[in-house]
Structures are given as structure tokens and as C-alpha cells.
Chain A
């Protein structure tokens, strides 16, 4: 079946511009996560969505970052007034609902490489 998809695969933007990154989770997965990986670093949690519950935004690094998930499926991560330190690979992951007794495996998309010049 189809895995997690993300678009665009690469994005180059000028400092100060806004960007939108998109994630399509695996069909039927109710949990969706955004992470980012900066150069030489591990993956850093950004935000989590579970069904219709309020998202866990505890990982967002600043108020320039926001995300939404429409209809419990597709999610967009928006970065306003981008800075050079925002350059990273942004990864989306989805998983089945933990309430269903499933394990915690998250399935990742290929990521969006964001470069802020």
C-alpha cells in the first residue's frame, strides 16, 4: 500500500519568506507527527496530531512555526518569516491509534529538504 508522502521533496526559499510543507499520512493512521533533522543532528520532534484531539505543539521551536491537519488526514506545516537556522529536512510520520493497542512504530515519509538562503 501507499506509504507516507510529502511534498515538495526540496524547497529553496529566501530568508523572510513563508513556506508550506505538506504531508499525506498512510490511510487509516490517526496519529501524525512532524519532526525535523538538522545537519549532523538526530530527529527533533515538532508537533503531534491524534484524531480530533488538540495537537501537542510542545516541540515547535518558535511561534513562526504552525501546523494544521484538515479532516484528520493531510497535514501542512507552515514556517513564517523563514530564517537560515530553519534549514533542515522536515519529516512527517504516521502511526495507528495507540488506543487500538498497537505498538508505537511510526512510519516516515521521505522528507522535505528546506534550504533558506
Chain B
């Protein structure tokens, strides 16, 4: 059973517009959420994160929103740029009980920003 879901496998946005990537989760024990960006043939690159005690975190053009009651988070990119074209992974973390904080990932959303 998938605990982190990204229901849109792909998204196309015009340059300069807002990109909104969505993520839903089922495990209420998750207490930290992250977004990673991945280019082909490279490892994922950390983008932005949010703790469960917050509902918004902003870093430049990137803002992550968390709605705990709906178990939903979203990543907003404004304005979108062609260089943002990549696969975006939503990830969530909780103490496994063995002391590790492994990340549970969604399947990713491929964002294409059209010039």
C-alpha cells in the first residue's frame, strides 16, 4: 500500500506561470516532509522541506504548503522557469522505531516548463 501518493505523473506549465505539484499521504506518523528534484541520470536533489508543526515554508520561488487534516501537501513554484523541468518527488519521514528516519517517496511528477 502506497503511503505517499503523487497522483499526477506529469504536468506542463508555461514559463512564468505557477507550477503546483500535489502529494497525499496516509501515514499519520509522518512528521517531516520534503520535496526533491531529479534530473535524468542524477540523484535526487533536496529542494525544500516542512515540519508537521508548520503549514507553510517558503524559499525563494518555492513554497511548500501542508494541510495535516487533509494529509496533503503541495509545492508551488512561482514563476516557473525552463530549468525547473525535472521529476519532482514528494517524500515523508517518521522515526521507524529503529532510530532511522528513512524517507518514503511518492512515484514522482514530471514537470515540463514550456518556454
A interface list, Cβ under 8 A from B: 4, 31, 33, 35, 40-45, 48, 50, 53, 56, 58-59, 91, 93, 98, 103-111
Contact among B41, B43, B96, B106 for A108, CB-based, below 8 A: B43
B residues near A, CB below 8 A? Answer: 4, 6, 32, 34, 36, 41-46, 49, 89, 91, 93, 96, 98-108
Whether B32 lies near A53 (C-beta < 8 A) is no
Establish whether residues A106 and B89, one from each chain, have CB atoms under 8 Å apart when the complex forms: no
For residue B43, which residues in chain A have a CB less than 8 angstroms away from its CB? 4, 91, 93, 108-111
Q: Which of A4, A53, A58, A104 contacts B101 (CB 8 A)?
A: A104
Q: Is A42 a contact partner of B108 (Cβ separation < 8 A)?
A: yes
Distance from A9 Cβ to chain B, minimum over Cβ atoms (Å): 8
Given known contacts A105-B49, A111-B43, is B103 in contact with A45 (CB within 8 Å)? yes
Chain B residues closer than 8 Å to A56, beta-carbon distance = 96, 98-100, 102
Among B45, B93, B96, B105, the residue within 8 A (CB) of A43 is B105
CB B43 to nearest CB in A, in angstroms, measures: 3
Residues of A within 8 A of B108 (CB): 42
CB distance from A108 to the nearest CB of B (A): 3
CA distance A108 to B41 in the complex (A): 12
